Amino acid sequence: MKKMSLVLLVMVIAATAGVAYAQDHAYVGASKCKMCHKVQFASWEQTVHAKALDAAKGSTDPAYDAATCTACHATNNDEAMAGVQCESCHGPGADYKKMSIMKDGEKAAANGLIIPSQDTCNGCHKDDGHSKTVDKAAELNNTAAMHEFKNPPGE
Ligand code: HEC
Ligand code: HEC
Ligand code: HEC
Ligand code: HEC
């Protein structure tokens, strides 16, 4: 009984969870960011975010269910986009990933690039009995969860 109510709770949460970006930009996947952001990619691969889908799939309580879990354990609610990839935090990249746009911060933002805020984290980290809230500023140097920076924030 207790188990069932936890599953129901997670399902209710999932209905409002994840990060919803405007659908006018398409997702491309982390491998497309890799060629220009090697430092961030190599370190991201080692994080719990990158491995989040495997963790959910291995779970029995709550039991894995793609429709529910991919809201936060995958990217764009898509099981084929495993884990919390770059675009879960930085926005779908089809329109900003071109060099001519990326090198200009304003143009990149206009084409969907997000510099993650506390709200970005809150989309998946809720105080709901399953996940806990996180303090973005306090986690920036937590290499178990966050990638390494080439230009560290605030410097
Ligand atoms: C063709 C190369 C290229 C690709 C592909 C690319 N980027 Fe970039 N990106 C850059 C350059 C150049 C900059 C600006 C200088 C820097 O930060 O290295 C940049 C900057 C950024 C920034 C920092 C912006 C700022 O204003 O601080 C983020 C975040 C970012 N890219 C994310 C991504 C993500 C996510 C992807 C994949 C969807 C991606 N990039 C794909 C070249 C690229
Ligand atoms: C609202 C977003 C959200 C949904 C929906 C969600 N999770 Fe999670 N899950 C998280 C977050 C965030 C964490 C990190 C734990 C924390 O915050 O302390 C987590 C942690 C976990 C962990 C622990 C991972 C570890 O390495 O210890 C497991 C297992 C897990 N979730 C399984 C699931 C399963 C299975 C589902 C679907 C039934 C699910 N989650 C749905 C956000 C979510
Ligand atoms: C798309 C959903 C999503 C977003 C957005 C997200 N996370 Fe997570 N985060 C997760 C999931 C799922 C886990 C659990 C991964 C696992 O252990 O398998 C997790 C785990 C973590 C952990 C390790 C567990 C813990 O609670 O200590 C930290 C720290 C963390 N995230 C910080 C952040 C920060 C900071 C941000 C915002 C910059 C953020 N996350 C954005 C889904 C997300
Ligand atoms: C869990 C959320 C999260 C994920 C996943 C994530 N990032 Fe970031 N990223 C951040 C945060 C937070 C910052 C710092 C934002 C700030 O300036 O406060 C950042 C900053 C950056 C920057 C600018 C700083 C620098 O290193 O030069 C780049 C570029 C970047 N990320 C690329 C990527 C790429 C590429 C991926 C995927 C391989 C990725 N990020 C995945 C949260 C994330």
- Substitution candidate for ligand 3 out of 73, 79, 125 with most atoms within 8 A of CB: 125
For residue 108, the CA-to-ligand 2 centroid distance in Å is 31
Closest CA to 22 of 114, 104, 101: 114
For residue 147, the CA-to-ligand 4 centroid distance in Å is 7
| pLDDT band at residue 2 using 50, 70 and 90 as cut-offs | very low
For residue 127, the CA-to-ligand 3 centroid distance in Å is 13
Distance CA 110, CA 24 (A): 12
pLDDT, tens digit (0-9, with 9 covering 90-100), for 35-84: 999 999 999 999 999 999 999 999 999 999 999 999 999 999 999 999 99
- 86 CB less than 6 Å from ligand 1? yes
